[in-house]
Amino acid sequence: MQDSKASPGHAGGNQEEKKTDTTRRDWLFAAGVALNVAAGVILAIPLVGFVFSSFLERKDPRSWISLGDLEGFPEGTTRIAAYRNPYTRPWDGDTANIPCWVRRLRGNTFQVFAVNCTHLGCPVRWFQESGLFMCPCHGGAYYEDGSRAAGPPPRGLFQYDYKVENGQLWVKGGETPTLSNPV
Amino acid sequence: MNTLRKMAVWLDERLHLTAIYASTAGHEVPASSGSWFYVFGSATLLCFIIQVITGTCLAFVYVPSTNEAFTSLQYLNHAQFWGWYLRAVHYWGSNFMVALMTLHMIQVFLFGAYKYPRELTWISGIFLFLSTLALAFTGQVMRFDQDAYWGLGIGASILGRIPVVGAGLVRLVLAGPIVAGETLSRFFTLHVFIIPGLLIALITMHLRLVLAKGINEYPRPGRPVRRATYDAEYADILRKEGVPFVPNAVGKDLIFAAITIVAILGAALLFGPKGPHGQPDPTIIDTAPQPDFYFLVIYAALALLPDWMEALVMFGAPAIALLFLLFLPFIANQGEKSARRRPVAVLSVIFILMVIGILAYMGVTAPWSPKMSAWSGDAIPVEYLKGRTPLEMHGAVVFQNKQCRNCHALGGEGGQRGPALDEVATRLTDPEMVRQVIQGGGNMPSYGKKLTPAEVEALVAFMHTLHPKHTPPARDSNKPANRLPRDLAGLTAPASPRMTQPVVTQ
Q: How large is the ipTM? A: 0.84
Q: Which residue of A has its CA nearest to B69?
A: A93
Q: Which strands sit side by side in the sheet containing A97-106, from one edge to the other?
A: A77-84, A97-106, A109-114
State the pLDDT at residue A165: 92
Q: At residue B307, does pLDDT exceed 80?
A: no
User: What is the three-class DSSP state of B76?
Assistant: helix
Share of chain B above pLDDT 70, in %: 94
Chain A residue closest in CA terms to B284: A99
Contacts of B307 (CB under 8 A, 6+ apart): A152, A154
Q: Which residues contact A130 (CB under 8 A, 6 or more apart)?
A: B402, B403, B404, B406, B445, B447, B450
8 Å CB contact of B282 and A123: yes
Parse chain A into domains and list their residue ranges: 2-54, 63-173
For B439-477, the DSSP string reads H--SS----TTTS-HHHHHHHHHHHHT-S-TTSPPP--T
- Find chain B residues with C-beta within 8 A of A113's C-beta: none
Rounded to a whole number, what is the distance in Å from the CA of B431 to chain A's nearest CA? 21
**In order of start, what are the domains of chain B with their CATH numbers?**
16-291 (1.20.810.10), 374-481 (1.10.760.10)
Q: Chain-wide mean pLDDT for chain B?
A: 90
- Provide mean pLDDT across the span B424-435: 91
Contacts of A135 in chain B (CB under 8 A): 369
Considering chain A, what is the average pLDDT of its residues? 86
Residues in chain A with CB shorter than 8 Å from the CB of B159 are 178
CB contact under 8 A, A123 and B450: no
Going by C-beta distance under 8 Å and a sequence separation of 6 or more, which residues neighbour residue B252? B34, B35, B36, B38, B39
| B237 touches A at CB < 8 Å | no
Please report the residues numbered 52 through 91 in chain B whose beta carbons come closer than 8 angstroms to any beta carbon of chain A. Answer: 65-68, 70
Listed in sequence order, the residues at least 6 apart from A160 whose beta carbon sits closer than 8 Å to its beta carbon are: A100, A112, A113, A114, A171, A172, A173, A183
H helices within B143-229, ranges in order?
A: 146-159, 166-174, 181-189, 195-213
The Cα diameter of chain A in Å comes to: 101
Q: Above 60 in pLDDT, residue B239?
A: yes
Four-way CATH pick for A63-173: 2.102.10.10, 3.40.50.261, 3.40.50.720, 3.40.366.30: 2.102.10.10
Q: Do A91 and B66 touch (CB under 8 A)?
A: yes
d(CA B133, CA B117): 27
Angstrom distance (rounded) from CA A57 to CA A48: 13
The helix (H) or strand (E) run that includes residue A99 is strand A97-106
A151: nearest CB among B153, B181, B443: B443
Question: Is A97 within 8 Å of B65 when comparing Cβ atoms?
Answer: no
Contact A89 B180 (CB under 8 A): yes
CA–CA separation, B398 and B451 (whole Å): 9
Interface contact flag, A178 B175, Cβ < 8 Å: no
CB B160 to CB A180 under 8 A? yes
In this prediction the pTM is 0.86
- Of all residues in chain A, the one with the smallest CA distance to B364 is A137
pLDDT at B478 over 90: no
Q: Do B166 and A82 touch (CB under 8 A)?
A: no
B51-82 pLDDT per residue, tens: 999 999 999 999 999 999 999 999 999 999 99
**What pairs with residue A77 in β-bridges?**
A104
Q: How far, CA to CA in Å, does B449 sit from each of A143, B416, B440? A: 10, 24, 11
Rounded Cα–Cα distance for residues B375 and B242 (Å): 69
From residue B294, how far is each of A167, B133, B135, B190, B269 by CA, in Å? 50, 8, 12, 19, 21
Asked if A141's CB is within 8 angstroms of B166's CB, the reply is no
CA proximity to A91, closest of B67, B349, B64, B188: B67
User: What's the burial of B163, exposed, middle or buried (CB within 10 Å: 0-12/13-18/19+)?
Assistant: exposed
CB A150 within 8 A of CB B444: yes
B75 within 8 A of B62, measured Cβ to Cβ: no
Nearest CA in chain A to B68: A93
Task: Provide the pLDDT for residue B106.
Answer: 97
Least confident of B120-134, B302-316, B357-371: B302-316
Residues of chain A positioned with their CB less than 8 A from the CB of B170: 176, 178, 180-181
Q: What is the mean pLDDT of residues B353-362?
A: 93
Q: Do B154 and A122 touch (CB under 8 A)?
A: yes
Q: Residues of A with CB below 8 A from B404's CB?
A: 130
Helix (H, G, I), strand (E, B) or coil at B157: helix
pLDDT for res A16: 58
pLDDT single digits (tens) A77-122:
999 999 999 888 899 988 999 999 999 998 899 999 999 999 989 9
